[in-house]
Structure 1
């Protein structure tokens, strides 16, 4: 009992000189069962733990997060159903993992890139109407009892891992490639044969010849599941998934049953973890990229402008097909309007950081 509570309790005792018994006995913490879509060894499980730690600290121990890895209750791609069905109170995943239920899921992080970064699109979610569209999709169109929030604007995903160099769009023809969501539609239209697999299945599929090239997300996750053991050419920069964030999914019933202050903590801890995750990703991703180059013999490339141009051309063909769905058109119109306004300011205002980097670390970028 702190000093303020002690004085209040004394006052309630009527000034008799004896301390009144506490009105409420200490209670066991409420437990929130939360599963991720990541293996226990994936850095993203650490990111989810960052969230869990903040919830527990801010709640003063009243709320405890039972954080579980993929497969503990359900498979990686099944957490949405598990939260909706009440098997889980919460999940840490990405919307693209339930793309098979509704293609519009991919618009919340893995849709067309109009010129905005993941930070741009996370801002759209909170300030540009995106959260309302997300609720319309999950709750109204799909009829799910979930409440979701996005956090941690991911660095643009690398084009991925190849056994040999790929420098032109023609070089991509015939590859059996792993990706997820609308990126699968995009790259299939560019001549690849695409398989949608969880991260834990990628290297075994590569070893069996089910795929012969792949992307997952970042140097740390890729390193941890052994990407460097099955391919040596790593291509950074791509438009296939350049604006994604994590999805923090909650059961609507679980959220409604919480006290107001705990509900606020569960919600706003997403923003806190987003900042923590960004800082950790900067440190770990860059260090692991260096390790891949210097210790694992990986050649790091920047994806060619020809391939990037081909990706944009492929998006141009895919977008009209997506817009045949009225809801998807509504979302895409909103995103285009947001990016045109916000990214214009971002890009016009941003100095050329590459120019400054080249000035102090000449020759390292090899952008030519």
Structure 2
């Protein structure tokens, strides 16, 4: 007779359960060894930046975040520009599988599809780079970018990230006092800015970052822009020029781009894709913080140690930039329907977002002058 509370067959059921549990436990124990046997996923990347540039450092920072967050299950190695392909050849190399991924800017693909340069090459319709990234994530930009790459047959997955501060007008032999001073200058820039500076009368040469200073030194360029105090300093701009014009609308809202070969990316486990997505956003903010720290130090030291003179670009030049930009994008939009689509999407988002920002965010100039201006220099709290 069975004991109270027990059912016939309980011992048999229990034996089956324990046997099954043992098998399942063995499978759980064996699972890590299967992963270990396969080894980590290794990717070879290239940036579009010289190894000494802080931009290459940003690329390495992103790779390290992914490598760390995956516990080494994904291992990304980042090579500098030119290690495998020239800087402007990154998109083709990643799309074709020569490289598994890369780090650059969308404006470098301007020759493939002009609408790609709308991610950062221009005034941003009063948005800064962080607001443009907000448009990309929440305002339809991500879907439009995927559509753009599909339209040119690029086998890539793109993650714009890393909001850049406003870029200088550039390095010159003498200060720019009016828009006419740009007329006839042999000038370096990229993206839609090629058309804008051409419209301002310059003879434009689109060179990658690592080639600019040598071109200035040899007289192949009269003036050039690149990006920021840290990059400009380490690349050697103060060695060939002592005049830098700050503030411009030609690249007011640019960001970096993380590129994956789509076939390689699609083959990754979903968990690893989720880690990458979150690593992009973590790296984006970390890059922004590091830039504030490093750019401000180099900006100060270029004045105190390198004898560089910084000037603000006159408002008349800025206004002329906007007029020429409008002419350029109107022409591009008439020629290219997807350019028009991206443009309309950005303007609609910017109208709402910048109105909110202008009404909400207090100006900080008054605070700066209060503490650090001529009258505030002796203030003690």
TM-score, structure 1 normalization: 0.92
Q: Is the 8 A contact 2:196 2:324 kept in 1?
A: yes
1:4 aligns with none
Question: Contact between 1:114 and 1:336, CA under 8 Å: does it hold in 2?
Answer: yes
1:234 equivalent in structure 2 = 244
Q: Paired residue for 2:313?
A: 303
Secondary structure (helix, strand or coil) at the match of 1:301 reads strand
Equivalence map 1:347-358=2 (5 Å) = 347-358=358-369
Structure 1: how far apart are the matches of 2:28 and 2:85? Answer: 48
Shift in Å, 1:23: 3.7
Max Rg structure: 2
Is the Cα contact below 8 Å between 2:175 and 2:245 reproduced in 1?
Answer: no
Contact 1:54/1:273 (8 A) holds in 2: yes
SS of the residue corresponding to residue 190 of structure 2 reads coil
After TM superposition, the structure 1 = structure 2 runs for residues 201-240 of structure 1, keeping only pairs within 5 Å, are 201-240=211-250
- Corresponding position of 1:96: 107
Q: Would the alpha carbon gap of residues 244 and 20 (structure 1) be closer, same or farther in structure 2, given more than 3 Å must change?
A: closer
Contact 2:100 2:261 in 1 (8 A): yes
3-state SS in 2 of match to 1:147: strand
Aligned-pair CA distance for 1:256 = 1.1
Q: Work out whether residues 13 and 20 of structure 1, in 8 Å CA contact, stay in contact via their aligned partners in 2.
A: no
1:311-330 residue pairs with structure 2 within 5 A?
A: 311-324=321-334, 325-330=336-341
Q: Distance in 2 between matches of 1:14 and 1:148?
A: 43
Aligned to 2:86: 75
Aligned residues of 1:112 and 1:319 also touching (Cα < 8 A):
no
Distance 2:216 2:21 in 1: 69
Cα deviation code 1:100-129 (max 9, x no counterpart): 111111112213431111111111110100
TM superposition outliers: structure 1 runs of 4+ over 4 Å? 11-16, 18-21
Query: Does 1:243 find its partner at 2:245?
Result: no
Separation in 1, partners of 2:364, 2:114: 36
Structure 2 length-normalised TM: 0.89
Mapping of residues 252-331 of structure 1, within 5 Å: 252-324=262-334, 325-331=336-342
Does residue 158 in structure 1 map to residue 168 in structure 2? yes
Determine the C-alpha separation between the residues in 2 that align with 1:309 and 1:15.
71
Structure 2 residue runs of 5 or longer lacking an equivalent are 1-19, 377-381
Deviation of residue 58 (structure 1)? 0.8
Instruction: Indicate if the aligned counterparts of 2:124 and 2:132 stay in contact, CA closer than 8 A.
Output: no
The separation in 2 between residues aligned to 1:229 and 1:281, in whole angstroms, is 22
The question of whether the paired residues in 1 share the 8 Å contact of 2:94 and 2:100 is answered with: yes
Structure 1: unaligned runs, 5 residues or longer: 1-10
Number of matched residues? Answer: 353
Separation in 1, partners of 2:118, 2:297:
31
| Separation of aligned partners in 1, 2:32 and 2:165 | 47
